[in-house]
Amino acid sequence: MGEEQIIFYFFAASVLISALCVVVMKNLVRSIFLFFVTLFSLAALYLFALADFIALAQIVIYAGGVLVLMLFAFMLSNRELLNSLKPTNSGFKVNNFAGILISLLFLLILALVIIKTDLNQLVWIQESVPVNPADNTTHQIGIYTMTTYLLPFEILSVFLMMALIGAAHLARKGGKA
């Protein structure tokens, strides 16, 4: 096994373990910090896929912007809001059973699709061209972002603004809405 494979498997395991811990942990602050680990490890996997622009956008937008916003909104929110988020220990409910059943059903469907798919017969894999590390994909992404994909780009900026306004509303100390 080469050095590249060891590093790749390290980051892949880091993504899986930290994402699982984000979902399972009861402490919200630790969960947010583990989400940082998940996003940085995912950016490393994007670098292995020669998607340098997406890796940089992953770090700048998600880890640098959205997660910091979530962390500050959580830390600046009032105690009454945080106390209302504590789970109750009332045991196993029917709603939990339905959620587990639906999750297992989706896992089964996903596993069947992966098992039945013949990757060598997919058209987009047969017609794919290997990526050259010297290609200037950042220039092409910039052109597509400002021409073809301008509307989705602007819709995304509106969603991020809504997240900022929501975090500012949660962070206000006064009880006025």
Q: Which pLDDT band holds residue 159 (cuts at 50, 70, 90)?
A: confident
Residues 42 and 19: their CA atoms lie apart, in Å, by 10
Single-letter amino acid, residue 75: M
**pLDDT at residue 74 tops 60:** yes
pLDDT greater than 90 at residue 9: yes
- Which residues contact residue 146 at a Cβ distance below 8 angstroms, ignoring those fewer than 6 apart? 153
Neighbouring CB atoms inside 10 A of 46's CB total 19
Query: Rounded CA gap, 41 and 10, in Å?
Result: 9
Does the predicted model carry a pTM greater than 0.95? no
65 has pLDDT over 60: yes
Alpha carbons 75 and 72: distance in angstroms, whole number? 5
The answer to which of 27-31, 36-40, 124-128, 139-143 has the lowest mean pLDDT is 124-128
Reported confidence tier of residue 20, pLDDT bands at 50, 70, 90:
very high
Contact 54, 64 (CB under 8 A): no
pLDDT classification of 64: cutoffs 50, 70, 90 = confident
CA neighbor of 50 nearest in space, from 167, 138, 153, 123: 138
